[in-house]
Each structure stands twice: as structure tokens, then as C-alpha cells.
A = this chain, B = another copy of it.
Amino acid sequence: MSLGESEKVNPERKLAPDFSKLNGLVAAIAQDAATGEVLMLGFQDQEAWEASLRTGFAHYHSRSRGRLWKKGESSGNVQRIIEIRLDCDQDAVLMIVEQQGGVACHTGRRSCFFNKVEGANLVVSESPAGSGL
């Protein structure tokens, strides 16, 4: 039976994120629901995953602080989850979010991915919001 046929019979799969491959973590991407822009990448442990599902707001596991981190808990720039997807192996998470304040990055930018590789250099491709640069 091909994968396609199997799914035709049973289009629902067991929801079971695999935290075993990365020391209890899965990588979690936040993508802007309005623009499609990739805003940031963080990691979730079981606690952060469940907090995200339960509250509808993106939570991550802060590796530097060693604790649960609700994105925007200090800045107010929370991420309201519109949709959650898991990849084929269930070891990566994609959260499609509404980014409160329009700023995901702690540097004040919309996206954390503002460093564009150009040759051997990184060029900052986006200025912090409101900086007038």
C-alpha cells in the first residue's frame, strides 16, 4: 500500500511530537500569517508545546534561561497562533501567527532573519521599527 493510499483510508494521524532527537526539544518556526514572512526560530520542550496549544499563544523553551518563555511576556509582542503544523517526522513545528506589535525580534525588527548573506558579509536588510533608518 502506498503512502497515498494509506492516507486515503485514514487521513488522520496520531498527534505525537517527537522530542527525542534533540535532547527533549523540537525546533519551532513562527511565520507571519499576514505576510508569510518567517519571523523567528525557537525551540519547544513538551511544556512549551503544551502551553502553546492550551493558551493559543506561542511559547518556547528558553535555553539560555532554562525555562518556559511566553514570547512577548516582557515586550508585549506576543504571537497569537492561527494554525499549528507538524512536519512529516513530527520533530519540527510551524506556528502561523499574528505578531502583536509587528515586531518579533528583540532588536526591534519585524523578523529575526534580518541578516542577509552577501558574499563573505552580513548585510542588515531591515531597520528597527520606528528608527527612521
Binding site for B on A (CB under 8 A): 2-4, 7-8, 11-15, 21-22, 27, 29, 31, 35-38, 40-41, 53, 63, 83-90, 92, 94, 105-109, 112-117, 120-125, 127-128, 131-133
Does the CB pair A27–B13 fall under 8 Å? no
5 A-B pairs whose Cβ atoms sit less than 8 Å apart in the complex: A4-B132, A11-B124, A12-B122, A84-B117, A88-B115
Q: In whole angstroms, how far apart are the Cα atoms of A102 and B27 in the complex?
A: 24
Task: Indicate which residue in B2, B94, B122, B128 contacts A13 across the interface (CB closer than 8 Å).
Answer: B122
Q: How many copies does the complex hold?
A: 2
Does the CB pair A123–B27 fall under 8 Å? no
Does the CB pair B86–A122 fall under 8 Å? yes
Does the CB pair B124–A15 fall under 8 Å? no
Report, nearest first, the 5 A-B pairs whose CB atoms are least far apart.
A36-B36, A4-B131, A87-B112, A41-B92, A85-B113
